[in-house]
Structure 1
């Protein structure tokens, strides 16, 4: 594809979901750069979020198509005139992207597909191919890399969401900060292992920046993030913003203990097992790179650790 390509007509799947709404907001912030912005959504979402969708139609000229992801005729019709597709489907729907990709490849107008990749790098190391949470995304990548002919793709890999990383987990042993009780569990023996994080708002910013730099983004993974920090640095910021006094209930979960908790969760089929595996990967250093790719997409301004902690405190009050 020529490097002069510029996306003008964009369709989003999962646009009103947990991460999709941030992507949509970031794109709408530069609405004038696009001719069409289209949302494909289910009848259930159209009913539950009617007011939001009506507002988007009225104030942002967003087109809303209500249909079934698995209805190929409906999807094919939705692709008419679209040049770029952004998927923000949740983890439970990742493989539903495969037929969407095949239809995009067959479309005469669709040129670029950004699958739902936001989060942990599924090809960080050779060991990544064996991780249970990665299998669906690996299957999607295999189709994009081996089975399509003309379709360009970009994987926007952001690492863990900072907003969720700092939130106290369902199992206290797997980390987080409880502002009301001033309790914290830091991952790692001493909490000094670095981790790269991205806020959910910044996922939107980074996707928008990717759309603005197609020539460097085609057929590759962009490994981007908001900032790199450590659990100890996060904890120090929580203490600073809650009055400057030390929290009295601070614990640590070693990597070996985290592996035990993860293993038990999979054996007992706990719904949080995937999250435990991801936190173990992060604690192992699976978010760190010699160089991040933010510069390739214009080094967009992003949020900071101070912002993340302040928001967690605000939500907890």
Structure 2
């Protein structure tokens, strides 16, 4: 780090062009291009550079859910020592390389599980979002150094750009985000990384057709508005790689939201690729306006059908004409390089997804 040394800082030296060799040595000066004087000098501050020690021990919360397998695989491939949190009474079978900590999500049980861990990666589902507040507190108490919250998908930093009703549905995630940043500001040992990935396309196509409106087995699609709104996505295997590489580069990824892009789609482009890979036949298409979808979502909220409401309002967040809400960023402006995330070919990717669906 360097700072221009002004004449005032050089005490009684009125003209830097007359600085002698002895004075330059005394004040640790080197010539530099700082202003219009014949010769300028730069003060070299001797600062001690500190580096974050490498992480090794990583524990994953929510690993039995949809995101878990990809995260665990990537962490294991990256040679981390991997543990998971598992609810007491759960019989879920994890890979043999994983150490399992049973928890009731109380502060004492979380603290016991987190003690000795370098990082906590949370991939909890919607019902477990607020449990992360207790997890953050436990991580802070026992010396964990990095916390990755379960905030994949929409960009929580872009609250003004969100569809207003969708913003309301993000309340719990925003509460967790605010708490995490506050705790990390108070406890400098703990840092955070938030991954902004856009919609998780492989999950929607393979496991939850209603989420993005494409049902491969039924060869049916719901197209909202014109079908031309841009959406950027990152599949689960690439998200796993991003998580692992964020932990491999703790200094470069500390206290930052990082954005990834593997695919940029529109509904129409995705539909065309799916039709081509499923025999070339035209799919059955239902067309819906995002305005009507939001209205239906609000009715479902009133009826306490929150899962159905989320799908309706998510459609407006992603697909409303004239918006780019779900175009997280371009590949060039993303953090792909830092995180080792690849840009994928849509046709090749869809062909692979169709094969996986056919094999089920």
* Bin of the TM-score, shorter chain as denominator length: 0.7 to 0.9
* Cα distance between partner residues in 2 of 1:38 and 1:168: 25
* Cα distance between partner residues in 2 of 1:298 and 1:168: 26
**Mapped contact 2:232–2:329 kept (Cα < 8 A):** no
Larger mean CA deviation between 280-289 and 87-96 belongs to 280-289
SS of aligned partner of 1:15: coil
* Matched residues, number: 299
1:134-283 paired onto structure 2 within 5 Å: 134-148=170-184, 149-150=187-188, 151-166=190-205, 176-189=213-226, 191-247=227-283, 249-270=284-305, 271-283=307-319
What TM-score, normalized to structure 1? 0.84
SS of aligned partner of 1:286: coil
1:1-80 paired onto structure 2 within 5 Å: 2-31=50-79, 34=80, 36-45=81-90, 47=91, 49=92, 52-53=93-94, 55-56=95-96, 60=97, 62-70=98-106, 72-80=107-115
**Mapped contact 1:167–1:177 kept (Cα < 8 A):** no
1:93-172 paired onto structure 2 within 5 Å: 93-108=128-143, 110-126=144-160, 128=162, 131-148=167-184, 149-150=187-188, 151-166=190-205
Query: C-alpha displacement at 1:67, in angstroms?
Result: 2.1
Cα separation, partners in 2 of 1:78 and 1:177, compared to 1, 3 Å: closer
Deviation readout 1:193-217 (Å, 9 max, x if unpaired): 1111121222212211222222221
* Cα distance between partner residues in 1 of 2:128 and 2:277: 38
Root-mean-square deviation (CA, aligned residues, Å) is 2.5
* Cα distance between partner residues in 1 of 2:212 and 2:177: 30
SS of aligned partner of 2:140: helix
SS of aligned partner of 1:64: strand
SS of aligned partner of 2:59: strand
Query: C-alpha displacement at 1:303, in angstroms?
Result: 4.8
**Mapped contact 2:205–2:216 kept (Cα < 8 A):** no
SS of aligned partner of 1:214: coil
Query: C-alpha displacement at 1:253, in angstroms?
Result: 2.0
Cα separation, partners in 2 of 1:21 and 1:290, compared to 1, 3 Å: closer
Cα separation, partners in 2 of 1:242 and 1:308, compared to 1, 3 Å: closer
Q: From 335, 338, 344, give the equivalent of 1:294.
A: 335
SS of aligned partner of 2:296: helix
Cα separation, partners in 2 of 1:235 and 1:278, compared to 1, 3 Å: same
Cα separation, partners in 2 of 1:99 and 1:263, compared to 1, 3 Å: same
Query: C-alpha displacement at 1:311, in angstroms?
Result: 1.8
SS of aligned partner of 2:157: coil
SS of aligned partner of 1:113: strand
**Mapped contact 1:265–1:272 kept (Cα < 8 A):** yes
* Cα distance between partner residues in 2 of 1:202 and 1:98: 27
* Cα distance between partner residues in 1 of 2:282 and 2:220: 10
* Cα distance between partner residues in 2 of 1:4 and 1:21: 28
SS of aligned partner of 1:145: helix
Query: C-alpha displacement at 1:117, in angstroms?
Result: 1.0
SS of aligned partner of 1:153: strand
**Mapped contact 1:117–1:157 kept (Cα < 8 A):** yes
Answer 1 or 2: higher relative contact order, Cα 8 Å, separation at least 6: 1
Cα separation, partners in 2 of 1:241 and 1:312, compared to 1, 3 Å: closer
Query: C-alpha displacement at 1:78, in angstroms?
Result: 1.7
**Mapped contact 2:206–2:357 kept (Cα < 8 A):** no
What TM-score, normalized to structure 2? 0.75
Query: C-alpha displacement at 1:41, in angstroms?
Result: 1.0
Considering fraction of residues, name the structure with more helix. 1
